Amino acid sequence: GNSVTQMEGPVTLSEEAFLTINCTYTATGYPSLFWYVQYPGEGLQLLLKATKADDKGSNKGFEATYRKETTSFHLEKGSVQVSDSAVYFCALSSFTGNQFYFGTGTSLTVIP
């Protein structure tokens, strides 16, 4: 079956620190992989995605590379800002895109 396991939080970092949030997956077939971000009081927004192995998704300074050999899609950012404080969800979708599977979310707090 399909599932996503992501690093548990909460994570607290100082401004300008390096961020890594780990995500691994189990899937049948060839899934697409996503990171969504949820700011306080809001719904989820797509942060980045990768649709095939070795693809790198990037947005707003965040990056993640689809690694089929390690079944991973780790989120990274070189220098976090206070405004990056949010909950981050790793997700995969089936080949048809009809259903998503989410990780449990990782809360990030960035302090000045």
| Binders of other proteins in range 23-82 (CB under 8 A) | 32, 34, 36, 42-46, 49, 51
Measured from the CB atom, the residue of 36 and 62 that comes closer to other proteins is: 36
Residue range at the interface with other proteins (CB under 8 A); choices 12-20, 66-74, 75-83, 101-109:
101-109
Judged by CB under 8 A, the residue of 80, 105, 108, 110 near other proteins is 105
What's the closest the beta carbon of residue 51 comes to other proteins, in angstroms?
6
Instruction: Quote the CA–CA distance of 101 and 24 in Å, as a whole number.
Output: 12
Instruction: Quote the CA–CA distance of 33 and 43 in Å, as a whole number.
Output: 19
Judged by CB under 8 A, the residue of 7, 67, 85, 100 near other proteins is 100
- Hey, what are 30's tokens? 């060839």
Task: Please tell me whether residue 82 adopts helix, strand or coil conformation.
Answer: helix
Instruction: Quote the CA–CA distance of 109 and 64 in Å, as a whole number.
Output: 20
Measured from the CB atom, the residue of 28 and 99 that comes closer to other proteins is: 99
Judged by CB under 8 A, the residue of 25, 62, 89, 110 near other proteins is 89
Measured from the CB atom, the residue of 12 and 79 that comes closer to other proteins is: 12
Report the greatest alpha carbon distance in the chain. 43
Report whether 77 contacts 37 (CB < 8 A). no
